[in-house]
């Protein structure tokens, strides 16, 4: 594996007059989950399609596993897996039969396809359901089987385009465990997702894409630092106490607090988080100010995303974006 499992430099792509990618740059080290986030129409799906050799770029350079995606698409396809938003499974077949079928489609011999299916059923925790029809699978089980199918040839790089859309919390957790298992075995994962908590949970690094360009790149923690560190937050029982509580928070935090009158909430950034929380709680109690909730809060990726793009994430991305 080269220094970067995925590399894009100045990639451009237009659909008619709409420019989906406008100088897209990305460098993904091997053996990690890399999150690609962006608002509706930012270019996430176009980027994945180009890297997966499904769409040719209009300009720039893109490499996967050290191979140029435009010049050597066949070799790239032998080294990648791709899981879209909807599982590509035959519901009439069992889980085992699906994996054996995919093995044969990937030109494995009958015996090797059967052995590989058994390996993947074990790896993805589907042994007990292996001989059940896929129509009987839960959403999370279908997603895990779909990921297993993408791993028939043990690809160096796996593209996951919103892999947990529509799943309940249990199903999402099942998929998360499967993704972590893949990375532990050395696979590099490029993840696009509409759930920012998912990127926070899985991704070692994140790129924020807007209007066809990467506008921020870093670890989840470093991106959160862009909008400040920890803050103390107080929710009051009586909104009439907001001015008094704000004065307490301002004195302890040495910063101008923000007041949310509708939620009866006041918060401000703090340096010494534990000491600040203790002092605010003690002072509010001494002043007989009734508190509904008090605690330390850290910035979320949702807040980072909103600050950087001016948008919240949308449920779906346009077909051409």
Question: Contact 164/198 with Cβ under 8 angstroms?
Answer: yes
What pLDDT does residue 316 have?
36
Split into its structural domains, the chain has a count of 2
Q: Are residues 205 and 257 in the same domain?
A: no
Q: Do 210 and 251 touch, CB atoms closer than 8 A? A: no
The answer on 247 and 146 residing in a single domain is no
Residue 30, burial from CB neighbour count under 10 angstroms (0-12, 13-18, 19+)? middle
Does residue 315 lie within any of the structural domains?
Answer: no
Query: What distances in angstroms separate CA 102 from CA 109, 161, 182, 184, one per listed residue?
Result: 11, 20, 18, 23
The angle at the Cα of 267, spanning 263 to 272, to the nearest 5 degrees, equals: 155
Task: Give yes or no: residues 18 and 111 share one domain.
Answer: yes
Q: How far apart are CA 266 and CA 172, in angstroms?
A: 33
Q: In the prediction, which pLDDT does 56 show? A: 95
Range of the domain at 293: 230-297
Return the number of other C-beta atoms located less than 10 Å from residue 185's C-beta: 11
Residue 57: CATH number of its domain: 3.40.50.300
Please indicate, yes or no, if residue 309 is contained in any of the structural domains. Answer: no
Q: How far apart are CA 272 and CA 66, in angstroms?
A: 46
Classify residue 314: in a domain, yes or no. no
Residue 239 and residue 164 share a domain: no
Q: What is the CATH number of the domain that holds 254?
A: 3.30.70
| Domain shared by 210 and 243, yes or no | no
Question: Which stretches of the chain score pLDDT less than 50?
Answer: 313-321
Specify the 3-state DSSP secondary structure of 106: coil
Please tell me whether residues 36 and 107 are part of one structural domain: yes
Shared domain for 88 and 186, answered yes or no, is yes
Clarify whether residues 16 and 74 are in a common domain. Answer: yes
**Number of C-alpha atoms within 13 angstroms, CB side, residue 19?**
12
21 and 64 co-located in one domain: yes
| 132 and 268, same domain (yes or no) | no
Last residue of a domain, one of 219, 252, 276: 219
CA angle (67 as vertex; 28, 116 as ends), nearest 5:
85
Q: Write out the two tokens for 139.
A: 């959403």
Name the strand (E) or helix (H) holding 58. none
Whether residue 313 lies inside any domain: the answer is no
Q: What is the pLDDT of residue 129?
A: 92
Report helix angle 110-123 to 139-150, nearest 10: 130
Last residue of a domain, one of 159, 188, 219: 219
215 and 234 part of one domain: no
Q: Are strands 67-68 and 80-83 parallel, antiparallel or unpaired?
A: unpaired
Distance CA 56, CA 51 (A): 9
Q: How many CB atoms lie within 10 A of CB 289?
A: 17
Q: How far is CA 159 from the centre of its chain?
A: 11
Give ∠ CA 318-320-321 in degrees, rounded to 5: 65
110-123 and 95-105 helices cross at what angle (nearest 10)?
A: 130
- Please tell me the predicted confidence (pLDDT) of residue 319: 36
User: Are 41 and 186 within one domain?
Assistant: yes
How far is CA 26 from its chain centroid? 15
């Amino acid at each position: 594996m080269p220094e970067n499992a995925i590399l894009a430099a100045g990639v451009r792509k237009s659909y008619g007059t709409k420019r989906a990618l406008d100088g897209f740059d990305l460098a993904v080290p091997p053996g990690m989950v890399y999150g690609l986030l962006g608002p509706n129409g930012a270019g996430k799906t176009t980027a994945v399609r180009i890297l997966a050799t499904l769409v040719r770029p209009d300009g720039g350079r893109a490499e996967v596993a050290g191979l140029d995606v435009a010049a050597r698409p066949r070799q790239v396809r032998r080294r990648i897996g791709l899981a879209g938003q909807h599982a590509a499974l035959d519901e009439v077949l069992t889980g085992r039969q699906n994996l054996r079928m995919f093995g044969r489609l990937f030109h494995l011999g009958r015996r090797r396809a059967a052995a590989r299916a058994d390996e993947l059923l074990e790896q993805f925790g589907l042994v007990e359901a292996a001989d059940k029809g896929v129509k009987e699978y839960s959403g999370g089980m279908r997603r895990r089987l779909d990921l297993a199918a993408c791993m028939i040839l043990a690809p160096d790089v796996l593209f996951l385009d919103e892999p947990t859309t529509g799943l309940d919390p249990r199903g999402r957790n099942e998929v998360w465990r499967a993704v972590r298992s893949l990375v532990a075995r050395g696979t590099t994962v490029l993840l696009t997702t509409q759930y920012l908590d998912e990127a926070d949970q899985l991704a070692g690094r994140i790129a924020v894409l807007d209007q066809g360009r990467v506008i921020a790149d870093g670890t989840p923690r470093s991106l959160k630092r862009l909008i400040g560190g920890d803050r103390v937050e107080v929710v009051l029982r009586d909104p009439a106490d907001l001015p008094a509580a704000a004065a307490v928070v301002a004195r302890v935090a040495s910063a101008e607090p923000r007041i949310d009158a509708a939620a009866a909430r006041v918060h401000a950034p703090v340096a010494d988080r534990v000491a600040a929380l203790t002092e605010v709680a003690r002072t509010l109690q001494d002043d007989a100010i009734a508190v509904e909730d008090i605690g330390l809060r850290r910035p979320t990726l949702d807040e980072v995303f909103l600050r950087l793009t001016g948008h919240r994430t949308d449920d779906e991305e346009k077909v051409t974006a």
